[in-house]
Structure formats: C-alpha cells, structure tokens
Structure 1
Amino acid sequence: MAGLYDKQAELYSQFRPTYPPEWYATFAGLTTRRALAWDVATGNGQAAVGLAEHYERVTATDISTAQLEHAMQHSRIHYLHTPSTLSDDELVSMVGGESSVDLITVAQAIHWFDLPRFYAVANRVLRKPGGVIAVWGYNDMLVCPAVDAAGKRWYETTQQYWRPELRPFFGGYRTLAFPFESVGMGEEGNPVEVEMVKELSFDQYLGMMRSWSAVRMAMDEGIDLLSEAAVKELTAVWGGANLVRTVVYKGMMLAGKVKC
C-alpha cells in the first residue's frame, strides 16, 4: 500500500480535502486531556494540522516517506516514518509510550490496516481513562444530478482496479471491526454519517479523481481511466473547466474509548 500512495503523493497533497474544524473541536471535547494526539497514516497531514489547534503535541506517522515529504508543516506536529518492519513495542515507544495518547485519529485509511495489530497498539497507547480513537472516511462526491450521473458512469470503469482491502470502505464502514466503547459518535456496525462541503473548480474535481488508488492501479497496467474522451464528457456536464461548483463529500465516522 505504501508504494501505491508513494506514486500518488503529490496529487494527494494537492487535491485531497482538509476536514471541518468543528470535528477536531468535538474530539477535543471528548478527551480529558489535550497533551498528545496521534494521527495515523497522516499522508500529507490533512488531519494533523487540525489536531494541532487543540493538542499541545501531535505525532503524525505514515508508512510512506513520499507522503511525508509533502506534509504540511506546523510547530506542534512531529512527523515520523513508521515502516512496516517496526515491532509493536517500537511503535508504542515511538508514539509516546503506554497510556500516553489522548486522541488517535485515522482519516481515510483505516481500511488499509492490519486491524488486530493496530487495535492492539491503540489500546496500549490510549490514555486510560480519557483517551479516544476516531476514524473516518468519505466515499462519495455529490455535485448535481447531471454531474453525479456522469461521475457514476465513469466510476463503473474503475471497479476492477480497486483493491479488496477496500470492501469495508465501500460499505460505509458498517462491516469494519471497531472494538471500542461508544462515546456517542457511532459504534461497531453503526457508524455516523458525516459530510464535508467544498467549493471546487473542475480541475480540482478531476484532480481528486486522479488521486484515487484505482486510477493509479489502472495506469500501472497501461490503462488511462481519465482518457481524453472521459475528461471531455465530465467537463461538458460540469459546465466548463473554469466553473466552480459546490461539492458535498459524503462520509462515515466512528469514535470510541478503550473498553473497561
């Protein structure tokens, strides 16, 4: 997975959305302290920068060095490369130690994880009591009926290139294991629905599509899913490359604390 997103790192930093500030304020209100947050699979730091407004320190980790090279800098954020070869004990120590983390966040990435291993580490590092883990993702972009219909037709061409790890993601995290006690923001099998509203140009909308892993997978096989013909159709229904439209990202979220 790291190699896949190494290739997409620049697109990811340019076109993936940041998250609503009120989300971080809500998370901060759930934790008893605000000393340390850990943003896992931080990518280029979209979530980490939001956390830095509420926590004294943010440790932001990623398996991809290319992603970290494009990370947004902030005085409270410490970016760390965490290769898959790290042992659990090494990872716990690197993050901050046992029962040291007030908030763990995973944005648009939990579906890629070795969940039993990650959850074991999360249970070790979360502060007890008072620590919270929050995971979220978005899996749809809605614009208007004409654009959405064209986007759906294009999306059908991507199906064979998605990795099997993404099944929980496409299911809206309803089948995602989440062995934590609810804090009122969803629970295992029942995530809460969330959305983000952004103003995007057509180039930004297209750039988001280019950043998808399926597009990269197809490209590696010599297939351009965003061919000239596909882009021409999407541009036409959008209303021209210079038009800015409101885009609603539809997503899902789960948050919890270590079970007693």
Structure 2
Amino acid sequence: MAKLFIEQAKQYAKTRPSYPQELFEFIASKTPSRDLVWDVGTGSGQAACSLAGIYKNVIGTDTSLEQLEFAPKLPNVRYQQTSPVISMGELEQTVSTQSSVDLVSIAQAMHWFDLPAFYQQVKWVLKKPHGVIAAWCYTVPEVNDSVDSVFNPFYTVDSDPYWEPQRKLVDDKFMTIDFPFEPVEGTDNTGPFRFVAEKMMDLDDYFTYIRSWSAYQTAKAKGVELLRDDVIESFKRAWIKDGQNQKVVKFPVHVKIGKVGNV
C-alpha cells in the first residue's frame, strides 16, 4: 500500500486537508485519560499534529519513510517507520506495552489494513475498558455546483478503473467496514459520525490534490493521463465561472469510534 503514495508524498502533504478541530474534541471527549495516542498510518502527520495539542504524547507510525519525512516535528510526537506487518513484539518495542494506550487513531488509512490482525493489536494495546479507537475517512471534495458537476463524472467514471478495491470502503463512508467495538459514552452506535474539513485552494492546488491520488499514480504508471487537456479545460471553465480563484473546498469527514471494553 505504501508504494502507492511514495511518488506523490510531497503533493500529499501539501494538499490533503487538515481535519476539523471539532473532530478531535469529539474524540478526546470519549477518552477518560489523555496520556498516549497511537496514530496508525500517520502519513505526513496531519492528524498527529492536532492530537499532540490534546494528548501528552503521540506515536505516529507509517510504512512509508517518504511520507514521514514531510511530517511536522513536535516535541511530544514520535514518528516511527514500521514494517507492513507488525508482530506483537514489534508493537511492544516500537509503540507501547499492553493496555497502555488511551487512543488508537487512524486517519484515511484503515481501509488498507489487514483488519482482523490489526484489531487484535488494537485490543491488546488499548487501556481497558475505556480505551478508544477512532478511524475516519474523508470523501470527495465539494466546491460548488459548477465545479462539482465536472468533478463527479471525472471521479466516478474516468478515475474509477484505477482505484484499488479498498477505495469502496471510503466511498461508503466506512458504513460497511467491520468494526468490532462497543459504542463510546454518549452514543448508541459506533457511527460513522459526520464532520466537515475545509481548505482554501486555488485551481492549481485542486489539480495538485487530484495528482496526489493513488488512482492518478496508478493510471500514470499505465500510460493514462487522467487530467487530459480537455478535462483541464472543463475544470478551468467551471472554476472561474464565479470569478474567484481562491475557493473554500469542503471535505466531508466520517468517523467510526468505539471502545475496547473488557476484551
């Protein structure tokens, strides 16, 4: 999976949205203590940085060293490259000991995981009975009717053959993902719960975001240019229709959250 993001690591770090503070406040309100977070698939550290403002310590792990190189360095965040398959011994050595983590967070990454093996590790490392797992994904960006009318067929038709099958879990907003955890206090289910991330972008930023897709890189490797000249022109006409180059781009965020219980 990490190979899909090596080529565009810099683009990924530049254009992926920061998640809304309301999301982190919601998650933190469900963890009785705020000592340690394991941010899995941390990438270039977007979530880890926000979590570091709430929790005492954050360990961000990823299989991609290229992505980690773009992660902001903070005194209470430790980044660690791991192998694609982590043994329990490696988990204890590189992350933490059994029943010691308050929160396991996964931002835009859990659809890539071997979930049965991962969940076994989550249940081992989280504090019991109130250790929390929160996994979220963001779905396609929303700009305005004009831009979205160009983007939607581009995403659902042009790019569709080049997405990995796991992308369907994101399109489904994690509603269909296996999630064997108990509802946290104040909820009667594990979600997904919806938030919205916003990012100011000009048209070049928007194209850079598209070029950061794994599907874009897969298509490129097969000799297919998704952003053909005619597609670019369609986007340009839609983008400048309101006369504004800088636009607020909204990314719907969907979070699944649960606690480990006494497992």
TM range (shorter): over 0.9
Q: What runs of 5+ residues in structure 2 fail to find an aligned partner?
A: none
User: Residue 150 of structure 1: SS of its match in structure 2?
Assistant: helix
| 1:128 Cα deviation from its structure 2 partner | 1.2
Structure-2 residue corresponding to 1:137: 137
Structure-2 residue corresponding to 1:60: 60
Once residues 90 and 186 of structure 1 are traced to their aligned partners in structure 2, the CA distance between those partners, rounded to angstroms, is 35
Q: 1:216/1:185 Cα in 2 relative to 1: closer, same or farther (>3 Å)?
A: farther
Q: Determine whether 1:43 maps to 2:43.
A: yes
Structure-1 residue corresponding to 2:73: 73
Once residues 172 and 186 of structure 1 are traced to their aligned partners in structure 2, the CA distance between those partners, rounded to angstroms, is 18
* C-alpha RMSD of the superposition: 1.7
Q: 1:230/1:48 Cα in 2 relative to 1: closer, same or farther (>3 Å)?
A: same
Query: Please, what TM-score do these two structures have when normalized by structure 2?
Result: 0.93
Per-residue CA deviation, residues 61-103 of structure 1 (Å, 9 max, x unaligned), is: 0011111111111111000001125313311332111011111
User: Residue 246 of structure 1: SS of its match in structure 2?
Assistant: strand
Per-residue CA deviation, residues 190-209 of structure 1 (Å, 9 max, x unaligned), is: 41222212222111211111
Q: 1:185/1:49 Cα in 2 relative to 1: closer, same or farther (>3 Å)?
A: farther
Structure-1 residue corresponding to 2:230: 229
Structure-2 residue corresponding to 1:196: 197
Per-residue CA deviation, residues 7-58 of structure 1 (Å, 9 max, x unaligned), is: 1211111111111122222222211111111110000000000000011110
Q: Superposition pairs for residues 57-206 of structure 1, below 5 Å?
A: 57-155=57-155, 156-183=157-184, 184=186, 187=189, 190-206=191-207
| 1:214 Cα deviation from its structure 2 partner | 0.5
User: Residue 257 of structure 2: SS of its match in structure 1?
Assistant: strand
Once residues 94 and 149 of structure 1 are traced to their aligned partners in structure 2, the CA distance between those partners, rounded to angstroms, is 46
Matched positions, count: 259
Letter in 2 for 1:131: G
Q: What runs of 5+ residues in structure 1 fail to find an aligned partner?
A: none
Q: 1:82/1:185 Cα in 2 relative to 1: closer, same or farther (>3 Å)?
A: farther
The answer (yes or no) to whether the contact 1:187–1:254 under 8 Å persists in 2 is no
Q: Determine whether 1:11 maps to 2:39.
A: no
Per-residue CA deviation, residues 152-207 of structure 1 (Å, 9 max, x unaligned), is: 1221200100111222111111110011101146745x412222122221112111
Task: Using the aligned pairs only, state the percent identity.
Answer: 38
Letter in 2 for 1:233: S
Once residues 206 and 173 of structure 2 are traced to their aligned partners in structure 1, the CA distance between those partners, rounded to angstroms, is 21
Query: Please, what TM-score do these two structures have when normalized by structure 1?
Result: 0.94
Letter in 1 for 2:137: G
Per-residue CA deviation, residues 205-242 of structure 1 (Å, 9 max, x unaligned), is: 11111111110100010111012221121011100797
User: Residue 139 of structure 2: SS of its match in structure 1?
Assistant: strand
Letter in 1 for 2:247: R
Once residues 251 and 227 of structure 2 are traced to their aligned partners in structure 1, the CA distance between those partners, rounded to angstroms, is 20
Letter in 1 for 2:146: A
Q: Moved runs in structure 1, 4+ residues, more than 2 A?
A: 184-188
Q: 1:251/1:23 Cα in 2 relative to 1: closer, same or farther (>3 Å)?
A: closer
Once residues 89 and 64 of structure 1 are traced to their aligned partners in structure 2, the CA distance between those partners, rounded to angstroms, is 20
Once residues 120 and 93 of structure 2 are traced to their aligned partners in structure 1, the CA distance between those partners, rounded to angstroms, is 14
